Amino acid sequence: MKCSIRSITPMFSTHRMVKEYATKYYFNALEKNKLLLQNNAQSVVELNKWKSKIYANWDKIIIKDIEMKNDHEAWLGKPIEVNVKVNLAELSPDDVVVQAYYGSVDVHTNELIDTQYTNLNLIRKDDDFYLYNGTYICETTGKQGFTIRVLPNHPLMIRSSDLYLCKWPN
Protein backbone atom coordinates (compact mmCIF):
# COMPACT_ATOMS: atom_id res chain seq x y z
CA MET A 1 0.00 0.00 0.00
CA LYS A 2 2.79 2.43 0.93
CA CYS A 3 4.52 1.67 -2.36
CA SER A 4 1.31 2.42 -4.28
CA ILE A 5 0.83 5.74 -2.52
CA ARG A 6 4.48 6.67 -3.06
CA SER A 7 4.35 5.88 -6.80
CA ILE A 8 1.02 7.57 -7.54
CA THR A 9 1.35 10.72 -5.38
CA PRO A 10 3.50 12.71 -7.87
CA MET A 11 0.72 12.46 -10.45
CA PHE A 12 -1.77 14.09 -8.08
CA SER A 13 0.37 16.79 -6.48
CA THR A 14 -0.90 20.35 -6.29
CA HIS A 15 2.44 21.59 -7.63
CA ARG A 16 2.08 19.48 -10.78
CA MET A 17 -1.53 20.59 -11.29
CA VAL A 18 -0.71 24.30 -10.93
CA LYS A 19 2.28 23.95 -13.27
CA GLU A 20 0.16 22.10 -15.84
CA TYR A 21 -2.65 24.69 -15.72
CA ALA A 22 -0.15 27.53 -15.98
CA THR A 23 1.66 26.11 -19.00
CA LYS A 24 -1.40 24.73 -20.80
CA TYR A 25 -3.86 27.54 -20.17
CA TYR A 26 -2.78 30.67 -18.31
CA PHE A 27 0.48 31.45 -20.15
CA ASN A 28 -1.17 30.78 -23.51
CA ALA A 29 -4.13 33.02 -22.62
CA LEU A 30 -1.75 35.78 -21.48
CA GLU A 31 0.14 35.66 -24.80
CA LYS A 32 -3.11 35.77 -26.80
CA ASN A 33 -4.29 38.71 -24.69
CA LYS A 34 -1.07 40.63 -25.42
CA LEU A 35 -1.53 40.02 -29.16
CA LEU A 36 -5.16 41.12 -29.05
CA LEU A 37 -4.35 44.39 -27.28
CA GLN A 38 -1.55 45.48 -29.64
CA ASN A 39 -2.20 48.41 -32.03
CA ASN A 40 -5.20 49.79 -30.14
CA ALA A 41 -6.81 46.35 -30.07
CA GLN A 42 -7.04 46.20 -33.88
CA SER A 43 -6.68 42.40 -33.63
CA VAL A 44 -9.90 42.28 -31.59
CA VAL A 45 -11.76 43.96 -34.44
CA GLU A 46 -10.23 41.55 -36.97
CA LEU A 47 -11.01 38.53 -34.79
CA ASN A 48 -14.65 39.63 -34.42
CA LYS A 49 -14.97 40.06 -38.21
CA TRP A 50 -13.52 36.58 -38.64
CA LYS A 51 -15.98 35.14 -36.09
CA SER A 52 -18.90 36.76 -37.94
CA LYS A 53 -17.69 35.17 -41.19
CA ILE A 54 -17.41 31.79 -39.47
CA TYR A 55 -20.93 31.97 -37.99
CA ALA A 56 -22.41 33.11 -41.34
CA ASN A 57 -20.88 30.18 -43.26
CA TRP A 58 -20.69 27.35 -40.74
CA ASP A 59 -23.95 25.61 -41.69
CA LYS A 60 -22.96 25.73 -45.38
CA ILE A 61 -19.90 23.48 -44.92
CA ILE A 62 -20.28 20.11 -46.68
CA ILE A 63 -18.21 17.01 -45.89
CA LYS A 64 -18.35 14.23 -48.49
CA ASP A 65 -16.50 11.32 -50.08
CA ILE A 66 -14.83 10.06 -46.91
CA GLU A 67 -12.42 7.29 -47.93
CA MET A 68 -10.28 4.85 -46.02
CA LYS A 69 -7.46 3.73 -48.33
CA ASN A 70 -6.76 0.46 -46.48
CA ASP A 71 -9.61 -1.63 -47.96
CA HIS A 72 -11.60 -1.16 -44.72
CA GLU A 73 -9.05 -3.17 -42.74
CA ALA A 74 -7.12 -1.77 -39.80
CA TRP A 75 -4.10 -3.61 -38.46
CA LEU A 76 -2.69 -2.90 -35.03
CA GLY A 77 0.27 -0.51 -35.29
CA LYS A 78 -0.23 0.16 -39.01
CA PRO A 79 -1.09 3.54 -40.54
CA ILE A 80 -4.59 4.12 -41.87
CA GLU A 81 -4.84 6.61 -44.74
CA VAL A 82 -7.92 8.83 -44.95
CA ASN A 83 -9.16 11.12 -47.75
CA VAL A 84 -12.10 13.52 -47.59
CA LYS A 85 -13.59 16.33 -49.67
CA VAL A 86 -14.84 19.46 -47.90
CA ASN A 87 -16.76 22.41 -49.33
CA LEU A 88 -16.02 25.39 -47.11
CA ALA A 89 -18.59 27.79 -48.64
CA GLU A 90 -17.10 31.31 -48.28
CA LEU A 91 -14.42 30.17 -45.83
CA SER A 92 -10.81 29.45 -46.68
CA PRO A 93 -8.71 26.46 -45.57
CA ASP A 94 -6.92 28.84 -43.17
CA ASP A 95 -10.23 29.39 -41.34
CA VAL A 96 -10.63 25.75 -40.32
CA VAL A 97 -8.85 22.60 -39.27
CA VAL A 98 -10.05 19.29 -40.74
CA GLN A 99 -9.46 16.25 -38.54
CA ALA A 100 -9.82 12.49 -38.58
CA TYR A 101 -11.54 11.61 -35.29
CA TYR A 102 -11.00 7.95 -34.43
CA GLY A 103 -11.21 5.33 -31.72
CA SER A 104 -12.79 2.10 -30.59
CA VAL A 105 -16.44 1.45 -31.43
CA ASP A 106 -18.75 0.69 -28.51
CA VAL A 107 -20.48 -2.61 -29.36
CA HIS A 108 -23.74 -1.52 -27.70
CA THR A 109 -24.13 2.05 -28.95
CA ASN A 110 -21.98 1.89 -32.11
CA GLU A 111 -20.39 5.19 -31.01
CA LEU A 112 -16.69 6.03 -30.92
CA ILE A 113 -15.06 5.80 -27.48
CA ASP A 114 -11.51 6.39 -26.23
CA THR A 115 -11.12 8.82 -29.10
CA GLN A 116 -8.15 10.63 -30.53
CA TYR A 117 -7.74 12.92 -33.51
CA THR A 118 -5.20 13.90 -36.12
CA ASN A 119 -5.16 16.96 -38.34
CA LEU A 120 -5.51 16.26 -42.05
CA ASN A 121 -3.42 18.01 -44.70
CA LEU A 122 -4.85 20.10 -47.52
CA ILE A 123 -3.86 18.44 -50.81
CA ARG A 124 -5.61 20.52 -53.48
CA LYS A 125 -8.83 22.19 -54.54
CA ASP A 126 -11.13 20.39 -57.01
CA ASP A 127 -13.97 22.63 -58.21
CA ASP A 128 -15.78 23.75 -55.04
CA PHE A 129 -14.25 21.08 -52.78
CA TYR A 130 -10.93 20.91 -50.98
CA LEU A 131 -9.29 17.48 -50.79
CA TYR A 132 -7.72 16.62 -47.43
CA ASN A 133 -5.54 13.61 -46.64
CA GLY A 134 -3.85 12.16 -43.58
CA THR A 135 -2.98 9.05 -41.65
CA TYR A 136 -3.44 7.78 -38.15
CA ILE A 137 -2.19 4.66 -36.38
CA CYS A 138 -4.53 1.95 -35.13
CA GLU A 139 -3.36 1.62 -31.51
CA THR A 140 -5.87 -0.81 -29.99
CA THR A 141 -7.50 -4.08 -30.91
CA GLY A 142 -11.20 -4.65 -31.43
CA LYS A 143 -13.74 -2.88 -33.57
CA GLN A 144 -12.37 0.50 -34.68
CA GLY A 145 -13.92 3.44 -36.46
CA PHE A 146 -13.35 6.99 -37.58
CA THR A 147 -15.19 10.03 -38.82
CA ILE A 148 -14.25 13.50 -39.97
CA ARG A 149 -14.81 16.77 -38.19
CA VAL A 150 -14.17 20.40 -39.11
CA LEU A 151 -13.35 22.98 -36.43
CA PRO A 152 -12.84 26.75 -36.70
CA ASN A 153 -9.19 27.77 -36.54
CA HIS A 154 -7.60 31.18 -35.98
CA PRO A 155 -4.16 32.05 -34.60
CA LEU A 156 -5.67 34.35 -31.95
CA MET A 157 -8.01 31.70 -30.56
CA ILE A 158 -6.74 29.74 -27.59
CA ARG A 159 -8.57 26.54 -28.61
CA SER A 160 -10.54 25.48 -31.69
CA SER A 161 -13.44 24.68 -29.38
CA ASP A 162 -13.78 28.29 -28.14
CA LEU A 163 -16.65 29.01 -30.56
CA TYR A 164 -18.51 25.79 -29.68
CA LEU A 165 -18.70 24.86 -33.37
CA CYS A 166 -17.93 21.45 -34.81
CA LYS A 167 -19.08 20.23 -38.23
CA TRP A 168 -19.65 16.49 -38.66
CA PRO A 169 -20.66 14.63 -41.83
CA ASN A 170 -24.42 14.31 -42.36
Do 137 and 115 lie in one domain? The reply is yes
pTM above 0.85, yes or no: no
Domain that holds residue 42: 10-54
- Among 19, 37, 54, where does a domain finish? 54
Amino acid at 101: Y
Q: How many CB atoms lie within 10 A of CB 70?
A: 15
Number of domains within the chain: 2
Is residue 40 in some structural domain? Answer: yes
Q: Is the pLDDT of residue 54 over 80?
A: yes
Query: Please, what is the Cα angle at 18 between 157 and 117, to 5 degrees?
Result: 45
User: Which pLDDT score is estimated for 69?
Assistant: 85
C-alpha 30/C-alpha 23 separation (Å) is: 11
Do 66 and 139 lie in one domain? The reply is yes
Do 134 and 89 lie in one domain? The reply is yes
Do 50 and 78 lie in one domain? The reply is no
**Span 94-121, pLDDT tens digits:** 999 999 999 999 999 999 999 999 999 9
Q: Give 1's contacts (C-beta < 8 A, 6+ positions apart).
A: none
Say which residue, 152 or 37, is predicted with more confidence.
152
Do 33 and 116 lie in one domain? The reply is no
Q: Is the pLDDT of residue 11 over 70?
A: no
Instruction: Tell which residue, 134, 143, 87, has the closest CA to residue 114.
Output: 143
C-alpha 132/C-alpha 136 separation (Å) is: 14
Is residue 4 in some structural domain? Answer: no
Do 90 and 157 lie in one domain? The reply is yes
Report the range out of 8-17, 80-89, 132-141 with the highest average pLDDT. Answer: 80-89
Is residue 38 in some structural domain? Answer: yes
Contact 76, 139 (CB under 8 A): yes
Q: Is the pLDDT of residue 48 over 80?
A: yes
Do 109 and 85 lie in one domain? The reply is yes
Q: Is the pLDDT of residue 147 over 90?
A: yes
